[in-house]
Structure 1
Amino acid sequence: MVNSILTANPKEHGATLQLRRRSLLASSVGNLLEWFDWTIYAVFSPFIAKALFDPSDPTSALLSTLAVFAVGFAFRPLGGILFGTLADRVGRRTTMITTMLLMAAGSLLIAVTPSYAAIGGFASLLLVVARLLQGLAHGGETTASYAYVSEIAPPRHRGLWSSAVFLSVSVGTLFATALGAGISAALPEADAADWGWRIPFFLGAGLAVVALVLRRGMMESEVYEEQIAATGERTTTTETPKLSRRTLIVRGLKLMLYEGGTNVVYYTWTSFAAVFAITYHDMNPSSAFLASVFAQLIYIAAIPIGGFLADTWGRKPVTLIFYSAFIIGIFPLMGMITDEPWTLFIAQSIALVFIALVAGSKPAVLSELLPTQYRTRMLGFSLSLAVAIFGGTAPYLNQWLYGEGLGWAFNVYIIVLCLIGMAVVSTWRETKGVSLQDIT
């Protein structure tokens, strides 16, 4: 299945198989590191809370750490708009190199920030600055990589090829979680809280050099280049066709509503599931991280299958199955988790298999709804704003509502968002196999 992602029908495009494979690999490796850098913050949030906030009130410190997590998401729309516009003007490749370096800079800043005990509130301030940098980078990276992989993929296999995006995202998330398990198991709790949590941030910043070398050799998107060439030709005779403001607003709103349910579910079950089990069910941290690692291995295996099913059944059926699963199953899944690690493994595995249905084809689905001349700008704004509103706040809302004994309200929140998403997707036309050049 994974090999098919790299080799399916390369002759449908002009670029050589070797260059196309290398470009997909470079995009995926960079995406992996971006998400490793992004996720380790959530994974190590209990340690960051003790190190960079006032440790005298542990609950307040953790909530503050999660609030900074949400602040990073708040800057994603700006990053999406900024780098989405850049990607439409100077190309996807240049944009993806820039966002990767910015993310690495944020990780390095977190790694070297002195503790709260050393510099007081300035430690918290530096953390906020670092997360703002990462938010900018993350908004741009998501935007450019969604469009790039979809644009270099053969139309008949675009769902399968685009699954490489979330495959790399998930491997990066898995590495972050595995590192959390390893550091928790290898170091005494005092050492992990003192300096061990800094290791993954140093590692993420250093590995960016490898991704940079790979991305310098990427091809530019042919779909993008054809659009630029066509625009240049049309300006000599007539104005380039443009979508009306109303059409852009409606499409952007639909993308945001689609993203609402998918983002809350995704961040609840990928970045925060282990932390939830540790915080509210007193699960052993090492065991919780390990259970989450094994659940994410199942998820990684399921992602290409989700892309394949989207190419076979269509985009709408697999997406509607995802929404239905969490409308029906969110209460049983959250209620399944106790202080036993196997309960986290079972609940998270089930949730992630259904999430894979959407993750396997999301970049293709969203790219197929937007014409090339607007694609990264629209994705940049709509996706990033939706993630900031729904994804970035999910861990905080989960922590707050469960802490107040109102966990049921968080589950109802997920159900409502999934119902809205289902209604939106029901109105979409099926886009399986369409040519991106023909989208208007």
Structure 2
Amino acid sequence: MSSAEHTEPLTKGAPGRTASPLRQLAAASVGNAVEWYDWYAYSFLAVYFADQVFPKDAGNSLVPLLSTFAVFAVGFFMRPVGGLLMGAVADRRGRRAALTLTILLMGGGSLLVALTPTYAATGVLAPVVLVVARLVQGLSVGGEFAASSTFLVESASPGRRGLFSSFLYVSTTFGQLLASGVAALLAALLSDAQMGSWGWRVAFLGGALLSLLGLWIRRGAQETHRAPQSAAERPGLFEALRHHPRASLLIGGITAGGTLAYYTWTTYLPTYAQVNAGFDKGDALTVGTLSLAFFMLLQPLGGILSDRIGRKPLLLGFSLGFAVLVVPLLGLVTDAFWSLLLVQCAGMVLLTGYTAVAAAVNAEVFPARVRAAGIGFPYSLTVALFGGTAPYVGTWFASSGHGGLFPWYVAALCLVSFVVYLTLPETARRPLDGTDAPAPEQAAPQA
């Protein structure tokens, strides 16, 4: 591999100073939290604006069709496209350029949601505007993982890539908790009529403003990748897939079990408890919030551990743990508050073996030239196929009278990822450019 493909030292940013590690962490993490706040706010607040945008009694058959497309499909359909396009921007123009673009797109999408007209005022234009907004947000969030994970890992000093990697899910979880908290606060302060009329728009306007904060922080960060200077040197859109097909397949195998387990435990488990154990809906939301906060605190610990002992032990522990324990764990869920809390927190501990190191492992698979695009497309496609469908597969099993089969589905896919992890070389102490040369002496990371 040529030296041009090695990760370059920090070269650009605020003039006259070198960015601190904290500034680099903030640039990726704050922006990523804002991205996921905007993304999850839609889910938490949809109940308040759905009737305004998608009226059930609408005579136009396009309305329910657009509703289904917007709510269930459009975001996940756009994520692989966003991963490919924003990843290409990161490889061609630099990581900061992609990070700037993703947060602008997410902020613009949130603003568009906030300004979406009602069906009563504009007819079918209302759901069309909302679909466009979700298209934009899906494009943004699909590219965010590729750009921010690459930027985080490249910003890390030797021996700290796992720690920096872990902040991707710290910020993702914080954004989810923030969206939940804002939605709950607005619902507590406003009447149902006010929430349905204008209250839900406040949350999206707030997301658009938060995007400006994230944009300001990201513009002060320093570049981690020297982009090609001429068009002839820039990597093609599908260069990573053409020249690194094995690495692309590896990303899918690395991600499949992890994304299914992640969406099952962080998104679907409260619903699973309600459907299969008669768990109280309000208590399920409380348990979900508490377990997410616990999960967020675990991530840096997992990252630090991976820098000390390697990525493979954590990945193998996660996948084998889920393959063996997911069925008995879900079997322990009853209608008692503590049963769900303990099961969800136990799963979060296992899940950290994947989430804390996912960004580092993915970045360590590809050379710098195509790293962001190489990660973005296969990762987002795998998430769309397995992660995004987890709630629907689980609900389908339950509705067909075979709810007990869903845990076996999770176990089987985690076992597939376990086999993939067995084939992975240990990359924690290798140079980030992906060569087999020994890494420089690394200082032990500090907690």
TM-score over 0.5 for the pair: yes
1:36 is aligned to: 37
Quote the Cα distance in structure 2 between the aligned partners of 1:56 and 1:309: 55
- For residue 284 of structure 1, report the CA deviation from its aligned partner: 5.2
Quote the Cα distance in structure 1 between the aligned partners of 2:328 and 2:52: 35
**Pairing 1:369-408 to 2, within 5 Å after superposition:** 369-408=365-404
Percent identity over paired residues? 38
> Is the alpha carbon distance of 1:100 and 1:14 closer, same or farther for their aligned partners in structure 2, counting shifts above 3 Å?
closer
1:4 is aligned to: none
Report the more deviating stretch, 85-94 or 264-273. Answer: 264-273
Quote the Cα distance in structure 2 between the aligned partners of 1:279 and 1:296: 21
1:131 is aligned to: 134
1:309 is aligned to: 305
2:160 is aligned to: 157
1:114 is aligned to: 117
Determine if contact 1:182/1:286 at 8 Å carries over to the other structure.
Answer: no
From 55, 71, 76, give the equivalent of 1:73: 76
2:218 is aligned to: 215
Determine if contact 2:33/2:171 at 8 Å carries over to the other structure.
Answer: yes
- For residue 436 of structure 1, report the CA deviation from its aligned partner: 1.2
1:3 is aligned to: none
Report the more deviating stretch, 96-105 or 387-396. Answer: 387-396
Q: Deviations over 1:386-424 (max 9, x none)?
A: 112112222222333323333223322212211111111
- For residue 152 of structure 1, report the CA deviation from its aligned partner: 1.1
Determine if contact 2:83/2:377 at 8 Å carries over to the other structure.
Answer: yes
Quote the Cα distance in structure 2 between the aligned partners of 1:65 and 1:333: 33
Asked if 1:90 is matched to 2:90, the reply is: no
**Pairing 1:220-239 to 2, within 5 Å after superposition:** 220-221=223-224, 224-225=225-226, 228=228
From 405, 410, 414, give the equivalent of 1:409: 405
**Pairing 1:327-366 to 2, within 5 Å after superposition:** 327-366=323-362
Quote the Cα distance in structure 2 between the aligned partners of 1:51 and 1:157: 48
Structure with the larger helix share: 1
Amino acid at match of 1:414: V
Determine if contact 1:77/1:382 at 8 Å carries over to the other structure.
Answer: yes
- For residue 274 of structure 1, report the CA deviation from its aligned partner: 4.0
> Is the alpha carbon distance of 1:124 and 1:14 closer, same or farther for their aligned partners in structure 2, counting shifts above 3 Å?
closer
Quote the Cα distance in structure 1 between the aligned partners of 2:9 and 2:312: 26
Amino acid at match of 1:154: S
- For residue 380 of structure 1, report the CA deviation from its aligned partner: 1.5
Determine if contact 1:49/1:61 at 8 Å carries over to the other structure.
Answer: no
Quote the Cα distance in structure 1 between the aligned partners of 2:402 and 2:70: 19
Determine helix, strand or coil for the equivalent of 1:370: coil
From 272, 285, 290, give the equivalent of 1:289: 285
Determine if contact 1:258/1:420 at 8 Å carries over to the other structure.
Answer: no
1:26 is aligned to: 27
> Is the alpha carbon distance of 1:274 and 1:116 closer, same or farther for their aligned partners in structure 2, counting shifts above 3 Å?
farther
Quote the Cα distance in structure 2 between the aligned partners of 1:341 and 1:258: 33
Quote the Cα distance in structure 1 between the aligned partners of 2:410 and 2:214: 36
Amino acid at match of 1:399: T
- For residue 99 of structure 1, report the CA deviation from its aligned partner: 0.6
Determine if contact 1:167/1:303 at 8 Å carries over to the other structure.
Answer: yes
Quote the Cα distance in structure 2 between the aligned partners of 1:337 and 1:56: 38
Q: Deviations over 1:280-303 (max 9, x none)?
A: 766555443332221111111100
From 299, 322, 328, give the equivalent of 1:326: 322
Quote the Cα distance in structure 2 between the aligned partners of 1:56 and 1:350: 44
- For residue 364 of structure 1, report the CA deviation from its aligned partner: 0.7
Quote the Cα distance in structure 1 between the aligned partners of 2:42 and 2:29: 21
1:271 is aligned to: 267
Quote the Cα distance in structure 2 between the aligned partners of 1:331 and 1:50: 38
TM-score between both structures, scaled by the size of structure 1: 0.84
Determine if contact 2:66/2:127 at 8 Å carries over to the other structure.
Answer: no
Amino acid at match of 2:145: T
Report the more deviating stretch, 119-128 or 254-263. Answer: 119-128
TM-score between both structures, scaled by the size of structure 2: 0.83
1:205 is aligned to: 208
Report the more deviating stretch, 78-87 or 430-439. Answer: 430-439
Quote the Cα distance in structure 2 between the aligned partners of 1:48 and 1:391: 26
Report the more deviating stretch, 424-433 or 334-343. Answer: 334-343
Determine if contact 1:88/1:373 at 8 Å carries over to the other structure.
Answer: yes
Amino acid at match of 2:253: L
Asked if 1:168 is matched to 2:182, the reply is: no
2:445 is aligned to: none
Gaps of 5+ in 2: 1-7, 12-16, 437-447
1:148 is aligned to: 151
Quote the Cα distance in structure 2 between the aligned partners of 1:66 and 1:350: 35
Gaps of 5+ in 1: 1-11
CA RMSD of the aligned region, Å? Answer: 3.4
Amino acid at match of 1:416: A
Quote the Cα distance in structure 1 between the aligned partners of 2:216 and 2:367: 31
Determine if contact 1:49/1:65 at 8 Å carries over to the other structure.
Answer: no
From 409, 427, 434, give the equivalent of 2:430: 434
